[in-house]
Structures are given as structure tokens and as C-alpha cells.
Amino acid sequence: MRQIVKKPLITEKNTVHNAMGVYVFEVEREATKPEIKIAVEKSFGVKVQSVKTAQCRARSKMSKFGAGAVPHWKKAYVRLAAGEKIALFEGA
């Protein structure tokens, strides 16, 4: 079995989303919305209302050490049903 949800993305911008009941995760690139919904519901024991995904494209990057690359990855915005929360994001 493959791991659909890789890690939660906790940033300043995403904490604003958390207040509205939307949580952001890095997910496997080939994962579909129904697979993401099932994985989050099983992992955190919550009811998911909707899932939106975004492709973060690969790009080149320069630093003082030379050229490098930022890999291609995918993130999912997961909206939970009213009253649902994920304790991982709440600091509990």
C-alpha cells in the first residue's frame, strides 16, 4: 500500500486556512481527490467535505553554491465538515 499523505504543511498562510476548516498536506503526485479524501479520513478520524489539489511545478534555483533544482510536488487543500478539527494542527 502506498502512502498518499506525505506530510502536513504548516506555514503562516496555512494557519489562516486552518481557522476556516481547511488543512493543507503534501501528497503523492499521482494521488486522486477520492484517494486523498479516504486517506485523510482514515488517518485522522475526521469527515472530509471537499478536496482541492495544486501542482507545484519543478523549477531551477541558483545559490552561492551553484545551480540546483526544486522538485515537482503536489499539495492538497482539505476542507473538513463543520465542527471537525485535526489535533496535529491545533498543537495538541
Single pTM value for the model: 0.87
- Give the pLDDT of residue 2: 80
Count Cβ neighbours within 10 Å for each residue of 29-40 and write b for 16 or more, e otherwise.
Answer: eebeeebbbebb
Q: What is the pLDDT of residues 52-90, one digit of tens each?
A: 999 999 999 999 999 999 899 999 999 999 999 998 887
% of the chain at pLDDT higher than 90: 88
Q: Where are the domains of the chain?
A: 5-90
Does position 1 have pLDDT exceeding 70, yes or no?
A: no
CATH number of 5-90: 3.30.70.330
Average pLDDT over residues 13-22: 92
